[in-house]
Chain A
Amino acid sequence: SQQGEEDPQALSIQEGENATMNCSYKTSINNLQWYRQNSGRGLVHLILIRSNEREKHSGRLRVTLDTSKKSSSLLITASRAADTASYFCAAYVISNFGNEKLTFGTGTRLTIIP
């Protein structure tokens, strides 16, 4: 079953504005990762935040994690047309059998309007 729910499902903003996407997950995690997917392509890893971290930055990306609320957010500042893509959070968990697993949220389709 899906690990996470993301909102909004779709987001359209003007170029230059900031975009915020939220992710909620259900179980305990080791870390949470954010990925980007351009239409019909594979996924590109953006950023990883560990369960003991609360905030992380990478360039124009800022990720927060609240393990008490089982939620995370991805902020893209000063958006560009090239940021148009789908963004997914993914929870890294270890199963009861010791297997690692990366399960994805429902995704946010971001459209940047030039």
Chain B
Amino acid sequence: GAVVSQHPSRVICKSGTSVKIECRSLDFQATTMFWYRQFPKQSLMLMATSNEGSKATYEQGVEKDKFLINHASLTLSTLTVTSAHPEDSSFYICSASTGNYGYTFGSGTRLTVV
């Protein structure tokens, strides 16, 4: 079946630095990928929709200059958290549309900003 690989699974960074998270579709082409954020014991909140070859669509309240999304190929989308602060610490999950209303999720990235 369709597999999405997300990397890294865990990252600790210093406040003020930037962190890049990768989301790859391994055996299919994903024209659309989605980035979610999940706080402990809470649900997934959609941050942005990543479209190959075009600008990402951000949800209301999500700072596009802080959460940079690049979807330069049909198999790779990246999320860069710029100038990270402790409040950005969270679990970030990507997913890719597999067509026919199907979605495959990455295993998530635990970001801790110290």
Contact = CB atoms under 8 A, between A and B. Distances in A.
A102 B108 contact: no
B26 to A, nearest CB: 14
Interface of B: 6, 32, 34, 36, 41-46, 49, 57, 91, 93, 95, 97, 101-108, 110
Interface residues of A, number: 25
Contacts of A2: 43, 45
Interface majority SS on B: helix, strand, loop or mixed? strand
A95 to B, nearest CB: 9
Contacts, number: 55
Contacts of B43: 2, 88, 104-107
Q: Which 3 A-B pairs have the closest CB atoms?
A: A42-B107, A43-B105, A42-B105
Contacts of B103: 33, 45, 102
19 contacts: A2-B45, A33-B101, A35-B105, A40-B108, A40-B110, A41-B108, A42-B105, A42-B107, A43-B95, A45-B103, A48-B102, A88-B44, A102-B46, A102-B103, A103-B46, A104-B36, A105-B43, A107-B42, A107-B43
Interface string A83-102: 00000100010000101111
A2 B44 CA distance: 9
